[in-house]
């Protein structure tokens, strides 16, 4: 089977530049967490996933390895599996053998990175139809026709949904429900509320890899906006907000400074913070209630032995 491609790169890049600048001009200033993942950011995040302090990736992968057969029984065979933000397409590998999807559609804004990952996956699973889509999931994009006999299922691992504020998360889930249709499914990784010391350590590693990852977002902004951020003039600041049940990650200006973004001049006060990420933590019950407001019904949930992370499956209707 051929490796088909849907490429919406031109429109994607224009929208990304507009979105990035809008966040920098807002009060307070922010950058959407998806801008972490240029090539260097993806490499740094891969290093973060190997750190002792950073539990989410290895815990979620452990659930996939232990429960892939159970997950496959719940979803059923021959589904069309769509994964936004697929990146290196690594986590889906733990499910393919048992799930046996008819089609896998990895979607990402990083075209070359996605195509290389999709090609590797196609080589390792020659019976799997792989159709990469270069697009921004939050914008309009085209889906190839699905001729399989199973349901459409969106795969969203990594607790990326935690990067959204609750109302934005609800809107995202509603978009997913509309996309997969009645009877369609959502297989999603959700980080669970836990001891704040565990959470703090996960985002403040001793080696400083997370700090480098956070500052790298400014290198990405420099390329996208023809800007002149000096990442060395910003401190990595992150903490757990107990009341809101979220990790907050910021870049704090060390001094009063001006930053040029193309024809736009930005002013930073000393100590001013630029928000780069929220990461909300949920209980199983809280996330099920949130998903229900978007039209989903819970079908199954799998949790690690420590109760730190969950993989949950929902259906529309």
Q: How far apart are the C-alpha atoms of 77 and 93, rounded to whole Å?
A: 16
Q: How far apart are the C-alpha atoms of 206 and 123, rounded to whole Å?
A: 38
Q: For residue 15, is pLDDT > 90?
A: no
Residue 259 lies in a domain: yes
For 187-232, how does the pLDDT look when each residue is reduced to its tens digit (9 = 90+)? 999 999 999 999 999 999 999 999 999 999 999 999 999 999 999 9
Give the residue carrying structure tokens 């559609």. 105
Number of domains in the chain: 2
Do 57 and 115 lie in one domain? The reply is: yes
Do 78 and 187 lie in one domain? The reply is: yes
What band does 1 get if pLDDT is binned at 50, 70 and 90? very low
For 278-302, how does the pLDDT look when each residue is reduced to its tens digit (9 = 90+)? 999 999 999 999 999 999 999 999 9
For 107-151, how does the pLDDT look when each residue is reduced to its tens digit (9 = 90+)? 988 788 889 999 999 999 999 999 999 888 877 788 888 777 789
92 and 86 in contact (C-beta within 8 Å)? yes
Q: Which two tokens stand for residue 306?
A: 């420590």
Residue 83 lies in a domain: yes
- Cα 238 to Cα 115, 204, 252, 270, 276: the distances in Å are 33, 7, 10, 17, 10
63 and 70 in contact (C-beta within 8 Å)? no
Model-level pTM?
0.91
Do 162 and 92 lie in one domain? The reply is: yes
Q: What is the CATH number of the domain that holds 101?
A: 3.40.50.150
pLDDT, residue 2, reads 40
Range of the domain at 219: 26-51+199-280
Do 72 and 171 lie in one domain? The reply is: yes
């Amino acid at each position: 089977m051929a490796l088909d491609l849907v490429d919406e790169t031109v429109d994607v890049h224009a929208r990304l530049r507009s979105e990035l600048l809008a966040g920098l001009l807002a009060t307070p200033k922010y950058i959407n967490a998806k801008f972490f993942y240029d090539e260097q950011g993806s490499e740094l995040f891969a290093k973060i996933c190997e750190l002792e302090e950073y539990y989410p990736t290895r815990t979620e992968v452990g659930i996939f390895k232990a429960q892939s057969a159970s997950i496959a029984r719940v979803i059923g065979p021959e589904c069309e599996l769509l994964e936004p933000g697929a990146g290196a397409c690594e986590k889906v590998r733990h499910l393919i053998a048992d799930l046996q999807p008819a089609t896998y559609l990895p979607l990402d804004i990083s075209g070359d990175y996605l195509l290389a990952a999709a090609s590797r996956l196609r080589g390792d699973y020659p019976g799997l139809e792989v159709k990469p889509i270069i697009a921004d999931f939050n914008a309009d994009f085209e889906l190839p026709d699905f001729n399989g006999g199973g349901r459409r299922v969106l795969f969203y691992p990594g607790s990326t949904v935690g990067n959204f504020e609750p109302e934005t998360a609800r809107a995202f889930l509603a978009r997913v429900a509309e996309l997969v249709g009645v009877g369609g499914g959502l297989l999603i990784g959700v980080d669970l509320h836990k001891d704040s010391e565990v959470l703090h350590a996960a985002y403040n590693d001793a080696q400083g890899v997370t700090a480098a990852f956070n500052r790298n977002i400014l290198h990405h902004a420099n390329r996208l906006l023809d800007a002149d951020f000096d990442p060395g003039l910003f401190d990595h600041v992150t903490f757990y907000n107990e009341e809101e049940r979220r990790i907050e990650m910021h870049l704090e200006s060390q001094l009063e400074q001006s930053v040029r973004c193309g024809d736009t001049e930005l002013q930073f006060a000393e100590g001013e913070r630029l928000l780069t990420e929220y990461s909300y933590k949920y209980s199983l019950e809280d996330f099920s209630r949130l998903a229900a407001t978007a039209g989903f019904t819970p079908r199954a949930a799998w949790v690690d032995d420590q109760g730190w992370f969950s993989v949950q499956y929902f259906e529309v209707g």
